[in-house]
Amino acid sequence: MRRSVLTFLSVILTLGVSSCLVDSSWLGIVGHWQDTEAPEFELEFTSGGRFNESFFGERVGYGEFRADGRTIDLHYLSPCGEGSQVSCDVRLRFTVTEDTLIITDAQGDLVYRRVDSSP
């Protein structure tokens, strides 16, 4: 009986610890990215879970993000959407390599290239 209780507790402990582990795939998205088709549009993702969107160097959107596996959730803290809502949430798919970020939305793929964040 004691052995089965210890086994049960060790399984519960292992599951608890493994559920706390964070998928590190989101680390690849951290950085400064420029749209390859519209280079005036840029994205920046920080290791603190924030993002900024800029157009011609002016910040046009910002908020918080959470990436898990190949999905990224953007929670806008700036006005967004139709009628300039104060906040909105967007879920997208993404793929990231060393120098390329591909964000997939309902219209297809948006391709970004990594850029140096210094002016």
Domain that holds residue 80: 23-114
> Are 43 and 29 within 8 A, CB to CB?
no
State pLDDT tens for residues 74-104. 999 988 866 666 678 999 999 998 899 999 9
Please give the single-letter amino acid code of residue 81.
Answer: G
State pLDDT tens for residues 15-55. 333 333 345 556 789 999 999 999 999 999 999 999 999 99
CATH number where 58 lies:
2.40.128.280
Cα–Cα distance between 106 and 90 in angstroms, integer? Answer: 11
Is 15 within the bounds of a domain? Answer: no
Is 31 within the bounds of a domain? Answer: yes
